[in-house]
Structure 1
Amino acid sequence: MQRFCSIILALLLAVFSAVNGCSPSDRAALLAFKAALHEPHLGIFDSWKGADCCHNWYGVSCDAESHQVADINLRGESEDPIFERAHRTGFMTGFISPEICRLTRLSSITVADWKGITGEIPKCITTLSFLRILDFIGNKISGEIPADIGKLQRLTVLNIADNQISGRIPASLTNLSSLMHLDLRNNKISGPIPRKFGRLRMLSRALLSGNQISGPIPGSISRIYRLADLDLSMNNLSGVIPRSLGKMAVLATLNLDCNKISGTIPTTLLSSSIGNLNLSRNVLEGKIPDVFGPGSYFMVIDLAYNKLSGPIPRTLAAASYIGHLDLSYNHLCGRIPTGAPFDHLDASSFTHNDCLCGKPLGVC
């Protein structure tokens, strides 16, 4: 009788585990994903054993109802005790296996800051219709962004910064109507910004710096009402700055430095809600618009290394706050105004202009 009860109990436990644990197909997909990676120092995959991948597998979480794998969160830089004990950040080699695409209920995948992971973004990743977060920052992943990335209609975060991604920004990316955070910084991406970029209406951060992106800045960007941070610096962008960028309701940071942007500075940029403005190292010309006033509040205005001419706007003295101002390496001429903010600026803010004078450069 006792033996019979033990058998029944074992069967009940097996049934309970099958119902509440991860599916065999999800477990097999995770093990195939693991097999393509090599992490030699921390042993983060040591816990990936046993039948139930939904419990106590490092970085793996499952949906409470379906018991299918929903999240993979593996960060090479973390405050997790496993990193503190090792007194080091993570390092991992290998590649992201296409087997990951067998996890059909995957909502987020983060494999970030491992420094040595190579290969490409699996093209099949665009079949994961529940995916909300795709974060591969800080690896050595190459190849192109999947051409049909726009299929991921639930995607809110796309972060593939600090890799070796090449090719163009796919036109389909503008179909990501839920996207809030886009980070493509420090890759080898070329070609233009898609003309219909403004369709990303939920976007709050667009970080595209440190690539080889060329062509004009699409005016459609100004239709992204929620956009607060736009960084297009260190690219090969050309053409003029759209006036409409200065009319954006919540845009607070605009970095366009280190491009080939020409034309004049739109008046709208200097009378907008932008508080961090960097237009340095372009080929901008003409006068600096004299449109500052009590509502002007800038943490940074950097206009250095352009072809700007004329005087320094006197209305700058009326601004409520200007933290850092750099007008060096232009063709400005005339007397530097006195009072705030000029009293706390040193000569480096004004050096290498045609004929500026006054404090701090010297008397006229």
Structure 2
Amino acid sequence: MSIVRISGLMHLDLSNNQIIGELPFDFGKLRRLSRALLSRNQLVGSIPNSVLKMNRLADLDLSMNRITGSIPDRLGKMRVLSTLKLDGNSMTGQIPSTLLSNTGMGILNLSRNGFEGTIPDVFGSKSYFMVLDLSFNKLTGRVPDSLSKAKFMGHLDISNNHLCGNIPIGSPFDHLDAASFSNNDCLCGNPLKTC
């Protein structure tokens, strides 16, 4: 029996198993699902577009799998999605600006993938990230100045990329240590060496 037939399912935790294969293309039929915890399996393929129809999904954890493809742009427009963990996969493409400008997003971990391009400069006074981890990717360009406008930034990690230029000054940068910025091409400024 396919899991998508359990239409009343509200919480799904299948993490730390040996599940092999792709997420069902019609995974989005689980319209009542608020948490989908599928980390540490052997899932392959891309994130199915049907996920974008899951209006109650608040927590999506696909970390430590073998997911490929890019992040659907509309994932950042999901109204209640507040935790997204895609770390430890083989995803590529650019980080959608909608993910970083979504004021409801509180935990976003995209580390240890193959994301490229710049970090979208779309943060604002309502941005509230308890965790923002973009480390171990192929990101280029500068650290966005708009990050200093964020209402709250608890844990930020943009280390192990190809970023360059000055680290902006002010909050949240004044409470972050060098490990948050280490192993980039040519970042400088506090807490790293002066420019």
Q: What range is the shorter-chain TM-score in?
A: over 0.9
The residue type equivalent to 2:140 in the other structure is S
The answer on whether the counterparts of 1:310 and 1:332 sit within 8 Å (CA) in structure 2 is yes
Q: How many Å separate the matches in 2 of 1:347 and 1:231?
A: 28
SS in 1 for 2:114: coil
Mind listing any 5+ residue stretches in structure 1 that lack a counterpart? Answer: 1-147, 149-171
Cα shift readout 1:278-334 (whole Å, capped 9, x = no counterpart): 000000000000000101010000000000000000000001000000000000000
The answer on whether the counterparts of 1:308 and 1:332 sit within 8 Å (CA) in structure 2 is yes
Q: How many Å separate the matches in 1 of 2:32 and 2:96?
A: 25
What TM-score do you get using the length of structure 1 for normalisation? Answer: 0.53
**1:269 aligned onto 2:99:** yes
SS in 1 for 2:93: coil
**1:305 aligned onto 2:105:** no
Q: How many Å separate the matches in 2 of 1:175 and 1:282?
A: 32
Q: Deviation of residue 223 (structure 1)?
A: 0.8
Q: How many Å separate the matches in 2 of 1:219 and 1:349?
A: 33
Residue correspondences, number = 194
Runs of 4+ in 1 over 3 A off after TM superposition: none
- Among 110, 116, 119, the alignment partner of 1:285 is 116
Q: Which residue of the partner structure matches residue 5 of structure 2?
A: 175
SS in 2 for 1:239: coil
SS in 1 for 2:153: strand
- Among 221, 246, 267, the alignment partner of 2:76 is 246
Q: Which residue of the partner structure matches residue 16 of structure 2?
A: 186
Which of the pair is proportionally richer in strand?
2
Q: Which residue of the partner structure matches residue 323 of structure 1?
A: 154
User: Residues 23-34 of structure 1 correspond to what in structure 2 (within 5 A)?
Assistant: none
Q: How many Å separate the matches in 2 of 1:201 and 1:353?
A: 41
Larger radius of gyration: 1
What TM-score do you get using the length of structure 2 for normalisation? Answer: 0.98
Identity, % of aligned positions: 62
Which of the pair is proportionally richer in helix?
1
Mind listing any 5+ residue stretches in structure 2 that lack a counterpart? Answer: none
Q: How many Å separate the matches in 2 of 1:205 and 1:318?
A: 30
The answer on whether the counterparts of 1:219 and 1:244 sit within 8 Å (CA) in structure 2 is no
Q: How many Å separate the matches in 1 of 2:161 and 2:128?
A: 23
User: Residues 71-220 of structure 1 correspond to what in structure 2 (within 5 A)?
Assistant: 148=1, 172-220=2-50
Q: How many Å separate the matches in 1 of 2:93 and 2:20?
A: 23
The residue type equivalent to 1:190 in the other structure is I
Q: How many Å separate the matches in 1 of 2:125 and 2:50?
A: 30
